[in-house]
Amino acid sequence: MAKTILVVDDERKIVTVLKGYLEQAGFHTVTAGDGQTALTTFRHTKPDLVILDLMLPGIDGLDVCRAMRRESSVPIIMLTARAEETDRLIGLELGADDYVVKPFSPREVVLRVRAILRRVEGDVSASEMLQAGDITLDLAAHQAAVSGRLVELTPMEFELLAALARSPGRTFARAQLLAQAQESPLEGFERTVDVHIRNMRAKIEPDPKNPRYILTVYGVGYKLSVDVDAP
């Protein structure tokens, strides 16, 4: 059954082009031209992935992203005409998994959609599990649990945690984590890792300000600690 992609943009030409490329690639595509319509369509169709423009009439893309993330962990790719780092970070902080800066290649967007959906589906054995201390990851079901408590992570958060959990205690540089977590790196934008780590900590750490599991190695990157006595 074809995956459903929701494309949200107020520029009709962009919507038409993306819809054409996505449907040619075998996806079912639904569209919206403003924030309110996007939310209504999202709740009605329950898409497998959302491509969401940052600048929308009415409810802007950031508020739409925030609302979607409250209701679902669906993968979200942000479209932005702005090149400023701050705009990208805000979108990622709200739970977006990836971003594309306009003007963009429609083929690149399709490749990113495919890559994210492959990560969500998990090209792994149904029985493959990762256990690192209190953290359990079901790679096939894309589910994470901490001390038996299910934690809802975005696709990118899950992939970053899986990369850390495969080698607990090992320190990873940000670029290494990006390379392991996705097939299409975000233009070397390593600070995205910091945003995703911060979001993850808020979900899995008893005290995010004093993390027990995901530790910062200053000047290098991050590591996953399986020592329950870690600070």
Number of domains in the chain: 2
Give domain status of residue 229, yes or no: no
Give domain status of residue 195, yes or no: yes
My answer on whether 100 and 52 are in the same domain is yes
My answer on whether 85 and 136 are in the same domain is no
Distance from C-alpha of 56 to C-alpha of 196, rounded to nearest angstrom: 24
Domain end residue (candidates: 57, 92, 121): 121
CATH code of the domain containing 106: 3.40.50.2300
Give domain status of residue 190, yes or no: yes
pLDDT value, residue 19: 94
Q: CA distances (Å), 50 to each of 3, 64, 163, in order?
A: 11, 11, 24
My answer on whether 12 and 89 are in the same domain is yes
pLDDT value, residue 182: 64
My answer on whether 156 and 219 are in the same domain is yes
pLDDT value, residue 211: 93
pLDDT value, residue 22: 95
Comparing CA positions, the residue from 159, 137, 163, 139 lying closest to residue 223 is 163
Distance from C-alpha of 169 to C-alpha of 220, rounded to nearest angstrom: 14
Comparing CA positions, the residue from 193, 149, 217, 174 lying closest to residue 225 is 217
Distance from C-alpha of 110 to C-alpha of 95, rounded to nearest angstrom: 20
Q: Is the pTM of this model over 0.75?
A: no
My answer on whether 62 and 107 are in the same domain is yes
Quick check: helix, strand or coil at residue 31? strand
My answer on whether 150 and 105 are in the same domain is no
**Which range of residues forms the domain containing residue 33?**
4-121
- The edge-to-edge listing of strands for the beta sheet with 221-224 is 172-173, 221-224, 214-217
What are the pLDDT tens digits along the chain (231 aa)? 789 999 999 999 999 999 999 999 999 999 999 999 999 999 999 999 999 998 898 898 999 999 999 998 899 999 887 656 666 677 778 888 888 888 888 988 998 898 888 877 764 444 477 888 889 988 877 889 998 888 988 888 888 999 899 888 999 988 888 877 764 544 446 678 888 999 999 999 999 999 999 999 998 999 999 775 444
My answer on whether 25 and 95 are in the same domain is yes
